[in-house]
Amino acid sequence: MYGAAENAAAAAAAAERTAFRGAEKRYKLYKTLPHRPKSRMKTTSGTKPTDLSDVVDFKAVLDSFASGRDLPTGILRFDCDGFDRPVFCIDDRPGFFFIPSALTIEEQCYWIRESLATFPQPPNRTNLTAIYGPIYGLFNAAQNQKVLIETEDTDTLVDHELNGSKSSPHSQKFLFAETSSVHRVETCKSIAALALLKKLRWSTLGLQFDWSKRNYDVSLPHNKIPDALCTLAKKMAVPALPFGEDFHPEAAIVNYFGPSDMLGGHLDDMELDWTRPIVSISLGCKAIFLLGGKTREDVPIAMFLRSGDIVLMAGEARECFHGVPRIFTDDGHAEISAILSQFSAEDDRCYADYIRNSRININIRQVN
Separation CA 210–CA 199 (nearest Å): 19
Q: Is 170 annotated as a binding residue?
A: no
Q: Is 183 annotated as a binding residue?
A: no
Q: Is 222 annotated as a binding residue?
A: no
Q: Which amino acid, residue 254?
A: V
Instruction: Count the Cβ atoms, other than its own, within 10 Å of residue 68.
Output: 6
In SS3 terms, the chain reads as CHHHHHHHHHHHHHHHCCHHHHHHHHHCCCECCCECCCCCCCCECCECCCCCCCCECHHHHHHHHHCCCCCCCCEEEECCCCCCCCEEEECCCCCEEEECCCCCHHHHHHHHHHHHHHCCCCCCCECCHHHHCCCCCHHHHHHCCCEEEECCCHHHCCHHHHHCCCCCCCCCCEEEECHHHHHHCCCCEEEEHHHHHHCCCEEEEECEEECCCCEEECCCCCCCCCHHHHHHHHHHHHHHCCCCCCCCCCEEEEEEECCCCCEEEECCCCCCCCCCCEEEEEEECCEEEEECCCCCCCCCEEEEECCCCEEEECHHHHHCCEEEEEECCCCCCCCCHHHHHHCCCHHHHHHHHHHCCCEEEEEEECCC
8 A C-beta contact, residue 202 and residue 195: no
Instruction: Look at residues 48, 105, 18, 41 and name the one whose alpha carbon lies nearest to residue 293.
Output: 18
Q: What would you report as the CA-atom Rg of the chain, rounded to the nearest whole angstrom?
A: 23
Annotated binding site for Fe cation: 266, 268, 322
